[in-house]
Chain A
Amino acid sequence: MRNTLLGAAVAGLLALPAMAQTVPEGYPASYKDTIAAAVKEGKVVVYSSTDAAQVRPLLDDFKTLYPNVTVEYNDLNSTELYNRFISEAAAGAGSGDVLWSSAMDLQIKLVNDGYAQAYESPELKALPQWSVWKNEAFGTTFEPVIFIYNKRLVPDGDVPKTHADLAKLLEAKAAEYKGKVTAYDPERSGVGYLFVTQDAAVSPGARDLFRAFGKSGIKLYTSAGAMLERVTSGEHLIGYNIFGSYALTRSKKDPNIGIVYPEDYTLVMSRVAFIPKAAKNPNAAKLFLDYVLSKRGQTLVANQAELFSIRDDVAGEATAKAVNAKLGDKVKPIKVGPELLSTLDQTKRLTFIKQWQQAMQGK
């Protein structure tokens, strides 16, 4: 608390000489009013499912750009973020000014339920069409959903290049890979459910792969951390449907992690951000959202936070550009839009889970 007060006081002092902030290049001149209003608001409250540690370069740079707007960054798990937001919204109490979460379906539900305000961001034209819905929900990243494997223990010849390879490997070397493959549990993890239903929608062979998982005694987890750690240690050998961003971060620190972008198709997820209608600091929220989507922000998203930039004009390993160059039309982005609502449909959900459970028994 004291930190926030202190921050506000310091920001107040800095405001005196800084005064008028320059409008970013290519933005309409009227943007200076947004900046002025944001400076008056003084802060933006961000609810995010991304670790503060991971996006710190972004937050620091935002501070350099807008020294008079403090970012209050709340880092929560995606389910908690959703719970907290709807509770606070119902109470009419202050909540986040920007909601930024990896639970794409929950974000779309909030937008669909009318919690978001429309905003014509000056960055819109730089974004792919599939990543924006109603000018309310904005995809901010381009994170491939990938395989990981343990480089020490998986021989080169075994490394699966496609989903079908993986199914074949589990059949051909059943004994070696028994209990050695890991994935999110779609019954216990929302994002795990999202990924496997996308698999089923994109690939006709998905059911066979799931059956192969079932026969191989796949180990299912609820957290990316658990899976990454257990693949690097050799407790498991291959991880399925892992966030490319977390895997890339980890592989930079630990050369034992190998990453495969499946060549038959690679799902791409995007962290969805929106500005709530009831945002107390809507102008500061716009500044933050625009910054995250801007070339400057996305360059850090790609090269410092390793969250994969969604813009075509950002270069580096963790960018849409690089992923598209590598895979071409095999890239299957999960569209930011009302289609995601069907993953929350209860009847469909229970039906899918039942099929999944059967596949887990090898049926």
Chain B
Amino acid sequence: MRTSFPRISVILVTALVVLAPLGLVFYQSFLDNPFFAPKIQFTLSAYEYVLTDEDFHSAFLNSLMIATGMTAIAVPLGGILAFLVVRTDLPGRRWLEPLLLLPVFLSPVVLAFGYVVAAGPVGFLSLPAEAWFGFVPWDIYSITGLVLVAGLTHVPHVYLYASSALRGVSSDLEEAARVGGAGPWRVAIDVSLPMVMPALLYAGVLVFFLGFELFGLPLVLGDPQGILVMSTYLYKLTNLLGTPSYQLMAVVVVALVFVTFPLVVLQRTLLRQAGKYVTMKGKGARQTPLKLGGWKWLALGLLALWLVATVVIPLAGIGLRSVVSSWGRGVTLADQLTLAHYRDLWEYPNLIRGILNTLGIGVIGGALSVACYTAVALAAHRWPSRWVRLLDFLVLVPRAMPGLVAGLAILWIFLFVPGLGYLKSTMISVWIAYSVVWLAYGMRLISSALLQVAPELEEGARVVGAGPHRVNLDVTIPLIRFGLLGSWLLIFMIFVREYSTGIYLLGPGTEVIGSLLVSLWGTGDIDLISALSVINVAMVGVGLLAALRLGVRLHG
């Protein structure tokens, strides 16, 4: 096949970028010392230790439970919300959409902290509730609380996939069903749902991964009860022997990779006949919103409830924390109001640099990453080959590494691969680390957009003599432009929020808000943390609104 060479080279480059850090981690898992130590021996003792450790078992079970629970909450809810916003005449859906995405902007540490201020044992919601009922009717530090918070805050991830898929679907099938007498619920289940199945499945698998990788939420909410999950177990391992034990950490990562493998196989089985989901045919995708009628208020209520639980409560918590000097039981908040935390913020040049760098890596870095992801996705597009199956697995692999470990592995690559050293501690290294870690994420969004492009459009172009590049440039890419835009938005948000990957690359000039927050969290400057988080949210909120404007204009 004539087109194979460029495709294979793109896949090989991806493989190299993905497998280098992972290979290093695998190698490390069989050693008795850091791989760079002067004396090393091969041994299985790290495996022996971890696999027989009771804490590992309970952490694994907790992670499994949380991942399952949050997928079960996030996927249906995300799908329903996407349907309501994209497909129906839900009142106010235009301005609701940016709010729907808000939880993604918040670093989970901050989000969790917002919940503590609002709904923790002495939160501003809990104290009145306690006065009313005599006790606090919820416990956000329990594993149920954790699942609920994780599930609700991951709804936007599903929403983005589902809505981007729905936007590409013409509404004539739904209209036909409506005309035939089906209610909105029936239309959603029998017509719309099957059409966005691939997007939902991908989203589900990814949310499940994210559940395994969850770090910020359990760090804050699981701390008081000592609930261990895989990532916080890594913390414990680090401390157990006094000095960090890379081989034990590596074994945990290997275990995570083994969890992801069957999922990828499962996903492939589910999607074997991607053809049946083709919905963007050589005909215009005309969309008419479905009339909800009386259902409208129920739908709006559901959306409002989710918004309050997931956006309003934690944001109010963190927002409140940023303007008071103290809070909790026995405090009259009105006496504590202050803007000093914000004023303090501007006195620290490293924090200001962090804010600017974060914006830069989100906007510019995000766009560059989407370009790379698109190149990789196109390399696999319409190419039934073993290479593509390899790629499917490859892209999911980095996500199996907790951000902190991935960051360390990437630092090792920059350190020990000759010629890369000068990139270390520049924003380029941070960008590469982010792009690798979030590869699966961006790729899935782009490939589920690609799945909806009917082959006849590309074949048509090819028949009239266009080469593969011309087909990509003139047919495929323009058709998936909304997918690309959505993808860029998603990556922007993810990069802005990311907090664990950049830690090992942190230095003067490479500060990003996420790493700064983690660093401040350790020593206790929660005044600065809350102010910085609010600025972060505001900044990204403005960015998102601007992008949505742009998106709206592209629609017309």
Q: Give the interface of A toward B (CB within 8 A).
A: 1-4, 49-54, 56, 72-77, 79-80, 82-84, 86-88, 90-91, 93-94, 105-106, 109, 152-153, 185, 187-190, 193, 219-230, 232-235, 246, 249-250, 253-254, 256, 343-346, 349-350, 353
Q: How far is the CA of A244 from the CA of B528 in the complex (A)?
A: 19
| A82-B235 contact given A220-B226, A225-B521, A235-B122, CB 8 Å threshold | no
Task: Kindly list chain B residues whose C-beta atoms are within 8 Å of the C-beta of A230.
Answer: 116
Contact indicator B240/A349 (Cβ below 8 Å): yes
- Bound-complex Cα distance A83 to B350 (A): 22
Known: A53-B525, A223-B522, A225-B523. A235 touches B328 (CB 8 A): yes
A152-B330, A185-B226, A232-B328 known; A225 vs B427 contact (CB < 8 Å):
no
CA distance in complex: A225, B520 (Å): 8
Given known A222-B223, A229-B524, A235-B121, contact A76–B503 (CB-CB < 8 A): yes
Sort chain B's interface into a size bin. Answer: 35 or more
Q: A93-B424, A152-B330 are in contact. Are A344 and B36 (CB under 8 A)?
A: no
A residues within 8 A CB of B132? none
Determine if A344 and B243 form an interchain contact, defined as CB atoms under 8 angstroms apart: yes
How many angstroms from the CA of A51 to the CA of B526 in the assembled complex?
12
Binding site for A on B (CB under 8 A): 34, 36-37, 116-117, 120-122, 219-220, 223-224, 226, 232, 235-236, 238-244, 325-331, 340, 347-348, 350-351, 353, 408, 411-412, 415-416, 421, 424, 426-427, 503-504, 506-510, 518-529
21 example contacts (A-B, Cβ-Cβ < 8 A) are as follows: A4-B508, A74-B506, A77-B519, A79-B244, A87-B408, A87-B412, A90-B415, A91-B415, A153-B330, A187-B240, A188-B236, A193-B239, A221-B223, A222-B223, A225-B523, A225-B524, A227-B524, A232-B326, A232-B327, A235-B120, A346-B242
Candidates A4, A73, A75, A84; contact of B504 at CB < 8 Å: A84
Complexed CA–CA distance, A54 and B520 (Å): 10
A234 to B326, CA, bound (A): 10
Known pairs A3-B353, A87-B412, A226-B220; A234 contacts B329 (CB<8 A): yes
Residues in chain A near residue B220, CB distance under 8 A? 226
Whether A109 lies near B243 (C-beta < 8 A) is yes
Contacts of A224 in B (CB 8 A): 522-524
Chain B residue at smallest Cβ distance from A1: B509
Q: Which of B239, B340, B421 contacts A187 (CB 8 A)?
A: B239
Q: Interface SS of chain A: helix, strand, loop or mixed?
A: helix
Q: Which chain B residues lie closer than 8 Å to A223 at the CB level?
A: 521-524
Whether A74 and B507, one on each chain, are in contact in the complex, defined by CB atoms closer than 8 angstroms, is yes
- A to B contact number (C-beta, < 8 Å): 177
14 additional A-B pairs beyond A51-B525, A72-B508, A228-B524, beta carbons within 8 Å, are A53-B350, A54-B525, A56-B348, A76-B506, A84-B411, A91-B36, A105-B242, A193-B242, A222-B223, A225-B525, A228-B526, A235-B329, A344-B242, A349-B240
> Assuming A3-B353, A153-B330, A232-B326, is B348 touching A52 (CB within 8 A)?
yes
> B36 — nearest CB in chain A belongs to which residue?
A90
Alpha-carbon distance between A189 and B219 when the two chains are bound, in angstroms: 13
Distance of A152 Cα from B332 Cα, bound (Å): 12
Does A3 lie within 8 Å of B523, measured CB to CB? no
Contact A53 B528 (CB under 8 A): yes
**Which residues of chain A come closer than 8 Å to B331, judged between CB atoms?**
152, 233-234, 256
Complex Cα distance A190/B520, Å? 17
C-alpha gap A189/B239 in the complex (Å): 6
Q: Tell me the nearest residue of chain A to B219, going by C-beta.
A: A222
Instruction: Select which of A4, A250, A344, A349 is within 8 A of B524 by beta carbon.
Output: A250
Which of A52, A221, A224 has the largest number of chain B CB atoms within 10 A?
A: A52
Give CA–CA (A153, B527) in the complex, Å: 22
Residues of A within 8 A of B509 (CB): 1-4
In the bound complex, do residue B122 and residue A52 qualify as a contact, i.e. CB atoms below 8 Å apart? no
Bound Cα distance A203, B330 (Å): 35
Residue of A87, A221, A224, A250 contacting most chain B CB atoms (<10 Å): A87
How distant is the Cα of A345 from the Cα of B520 in the complex, in angstroms? 30
| Chain A residues whose C-beta falls within 8 Å of the C-beta of B351 in the assembled complex | 53
Distance A224 CA – B525 CA, assembled complex (angstroms): 9
Residue in B244, B327, B347, B348 whose CB lies within 8 Å of A233: B327
- For residue B222, give the distance in angstroms from its CB to the closest CB of chain A: 11
Contact (Cβ within 8 A) A226 B223: yes
**A88-B506 contact, Cβ under 8 Å, with A188-B236, A223-B522, A253-B527:** no
- B510 to chain A: which residues have CB within 8 Å? 1
Contact call B426/A1, Cβ cutoff below 8 A = yes
Q: Which 7 pairs of residues, A with B, have the shortest CB-CB distance? A: A233-B328, A234-B329, A225-B524, A90-B36, A344-B242, A91-B415, A234-B328
A193: which B residues are within 8 A, CB to CB? 239, 242
Q: Which residues of A contact B244 (CB under 8 A)?
A: 79, 82-83
CB-CB < 8 A to B223: which residues of A?
A: 221-222, 226
Contact yes or no, B329 A87, CB < 8 A: no
Q: Find chain A residues with CB under 8 A from B518 CB.
A: 77
- Least distance between B416 CB and chain A CB atoms (Å): 5
A88 cross-chain contacts in B, Cβ below 8 A: 415
Query: How many Å lie between the Cα of A105 and that of B528 in the bound state?
Result: 29
In angstroms, how far is the closest chain B Cβ from the Cβ of A83? 6
Nearest B residue to A80 via CB reads B503
* Among candidates B326, B508, B520, residue contacting A74 with C-beta atoms closer than 8 Å: B508
Q: CA of A80 to CA of B403 in the docked complex: distance in angstroms?
A: 13
Complex: chain B residue closest to A84, CB-CB: B504
For A91, give the chain B residue with the smallest CB separation. B415
Name the contact of A349 in the complex, choosing from B224, B242, B347 (C-beta under 8 A): B242
Instruction: State whether B241 touches A346 (Cβ < 8 A).
Output: yes
> How many angstroms from the CA of A93 to the CA of B122 in the assembled complex?
49
Q: How far is the CA of A133 from the CA of B239 in the complex (A)?
A: 24
Tell which of A52, A53, A188, A254 touches B239, judged by Cβ atoms closer than 8 Å: A188
Closest residue to B415 on the A side, CB-wise?
A91
Q: Report B-chain residues with C-beta under 8 Å of the C-beta of A52.
A: 348, 350
A254 proximity list for chain B (CB < 8 A): 325-326
